Each structure stands twice: as C-alpha cells, then as structure tokens.
C-alpha cells in the first residue's frame, strides 16, 4: 500500500513537473517569473486540497460523474491558457533592444503583469493535485498502514518526480539551448492539444459529449507501459482515441500552430 501511494503520487506529480519545466523554459525572460509560478503552485495546491475533500458533493450534484466533469473542464481551460501563453510569449517574450526594455519596464512597474501565468500554473496544479488528494485519501481509508507512513511515501513519490523531471529537462536543455523558445513553444502546443484531448475524454465518460466512433485505432498492446505513460502525459489519448478526442487534438494543433506562426511572422 505504501508503494502504491508513492507510485501514484510520483506518476501524477511527474506530469506536473514536466509541464511546469517546459513552461518555465518558455517564460524565462519574464521578470519575477518564479514568483508568478510559485504563486500559481500555491493557489493550485490549496484549491486541489479543497476540491479533493468536496468531491463527493460535486459527484452528487452531477449524478455521480462530477469528478469527470470537473477534470474535463479544468483540462480544457488549461489548454486554452497554454495557447494564450504561447502566443503572448511569442509576441512579447523575445523582443530585443528598446522593445524588450519597454516590455520589461511595463511588467516591473505593474502596468503589464502576466497574471495569466499564475492562472495557468494554478489550473495545472488544481487538476493533478485534486487527483492526488483523492487517491491518497482513499488509500488512507482502506490502508492498514498509519497515515504518517502513507504521507511519507507520498512525499517521497513527489520528490522523486521533481528530481526526475528536472534531470530530464536540464539534460534536454543542453541540446536545444539555442532554440529553447521555439522548441518549448511547440511542446506546449502539443501538450495543450493533449490536455484538451483528455478533457474531452472525461466529458465523454460523463456522457456530456458523444464519442461518434468509440475507437479509431488501438495500439496500447504494442507499446510498453512507460511509453504509454509519456505519450499520454504529452499528447493525451492518441493511442486509443475516439473520433471526438482525435478531432479535438487535430483542431487544437491546427488552430494553435496557425496562431503561433502568425505571431512569429508578425514580430
């Protein structure tokens, strides 16, 4: 049971760390970026704890599928926020000379603060964090181990996820250092498409959206569990998608990539 707690938290926390490290790389030129991101983490952590403990009431309100509806809505909103972040950073985050100094001055003076960065980080924490709270609280109910033991295993899982995510990010960063903004922006576009894809999947599971075709293809049996985990973390459910999930993925990729290219050309 302790191993289960550690693995569950590791899996969920790793998704958060991977996305946050990519987001950090894409927004590295924003003054006080760490303050905004830490504020988002704090808000999301508190919010996820609150959501986790009121999940039964949400489930009852939505007829037993409240968690699916909540997850779906949060994922879709997060995907939209990522899209805004990519476009905003492309237009404002890489300006040079006087334009960059002007933007920095406006941000530092308070006339232009990227508070949407706080919202984005908070939503990421809220979505994954609420699941962690639900999982761990469920284990506490059925486990024979003490609450402190389960919490300790959960903390170890979270720390392992942070270390694994940072090592992966720093290693990759050595190869893409000269093109970190372009690479991270494209990664964020695909992550946004994957989050929207998963959000639609939750809404389908809650009977809020139609599948149209339940499974376009299924390659899950041909891939190892580790590969499936990372594919789902970055791209959502594309190994066994419904028509609606895949349509969402394609639309988000097409829309965001078009907007991103226009923003690049407009600089």
Q: What is the per-residue pLDDT for 71? A: 76
- Measure the CA–CA gap between 103 and 79, rounded to whole angstroms: 25
Q: Which position has the higher pLDDT, 160 or 233?
A: 160
pLDDT in tens, 99-118: 444 544 554 455 556 666 67
- Measure the CA–CA gap between 209 and 91, rounded to whole angstroms: 35
Residues spanned by the domain of 219:
2-266
pLDDT grade for 242, boundaries at 50, 70 and 90: very high
- Measure the CA–CA gap between 133 and 71, rounded to whole angstroms: 14
Q: How many domains is the chain partitioned into structurally?
A: 1
Q: Which position has the higher pLDDT, 136 or 225?
A: 225
- Lowest-confidence range among 28-42, 133-147, 222-236? 133-147
Q: What is the per-residue pLDDT for 96? A: 40
Mean pLDDT of 53-59: 63
Q: Cα–chain-centroid distance for residue 159?
A: 18
User: In this structure, what DSSP letter does residue 117 have?
Assistant: H
Q: What is the per-residue pLDDT for 253? A: 95
Q: Is residue 22 a contact partner of residue 181, using CB atoms and an 8 Å limit?
A: no
Looking at the predicted structure, is the pLDDT value of residue 265 above 90? no
Q: What is the per-residue pLDDT for 81? A: 75
Q: Cα–chain-centroid distance for residue 249?
A: 15
Mean pLDDT of 27-47: 79
pLDDT in tens, 68-86: 787 788 788 878 877 887 7
pLDDT in tens, 188-239: 888 889 889 988 998 998 888 998 888 888 888 888 877 877 787 678 888 8
Question: For all residues of the chain together, what is the average pLDDT?
Answer: 75
The secondary structure of 121-189 as a DSSP string is HHHHHHHHHHHHHHHHHHHHHH-SS-HHHHHHHHHHHHHHHHHHHHHHHHHHHHHSGGGHHHHHHHHHH
Mean pLDDT of 241-259: 94
Q: Which of 102-116, 155-169, 245-259 has the highest mean pLDDT?
A: 245-259
């Amino acid at each position: 049971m302790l191993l289960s707690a550690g693995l569950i938290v590791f899996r969920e926390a790793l998704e958060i760390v991977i996305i946050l490290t990519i987001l950090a790389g894409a927004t590295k030129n924003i003054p006080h970026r760490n303050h905004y991101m830490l504020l988002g983490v704090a808000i999301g952590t508190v919010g996820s704890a609150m959501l986790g403990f009121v999940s039964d009431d949400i489930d009852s309100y939505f007829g037993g599928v409240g968690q699916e509806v909540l997850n779906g809505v949060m994922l879709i909103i997060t995907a939209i926020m990522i899209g805004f972040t990519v476009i905003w950073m492309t237009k404002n985050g890489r300006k040079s000379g006087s334009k960059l100094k002007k933007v920095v001055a406006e941000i530092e003076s308070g006339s232009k603060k990227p508070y949407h960065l706080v919202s984005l980080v908070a939503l990421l924490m809220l979505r994954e964090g609420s699941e962690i709270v639900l999982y761990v609280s469920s284990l506490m109910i059925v486990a024979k181990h003490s609450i402190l033991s389960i919490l300790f295993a959960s903390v170890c899982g979270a720390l392992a996820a942070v270390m694994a995510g940072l090592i992966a990010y720093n290693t990759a960063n050595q190869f893409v250092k000269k093109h970190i903004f372009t690479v991270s922006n494209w990664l964020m576009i695909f992550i946004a498409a994957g989050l929207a894809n998963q959000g639609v999947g939750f809404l389908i599971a809650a009977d809020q959206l139609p599948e149209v075709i339940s499974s376009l293809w299924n390659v899950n049996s041909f891939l190892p569990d580790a590969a499936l985990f990372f594919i789902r973390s970055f791209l959502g459910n594309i190994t066994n998608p419904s028509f609606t999930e895949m349509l969402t993925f394609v639309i988000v990729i097409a829309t965001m990539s078009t907007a991103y290219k226009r923003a690049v050309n407009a600089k």
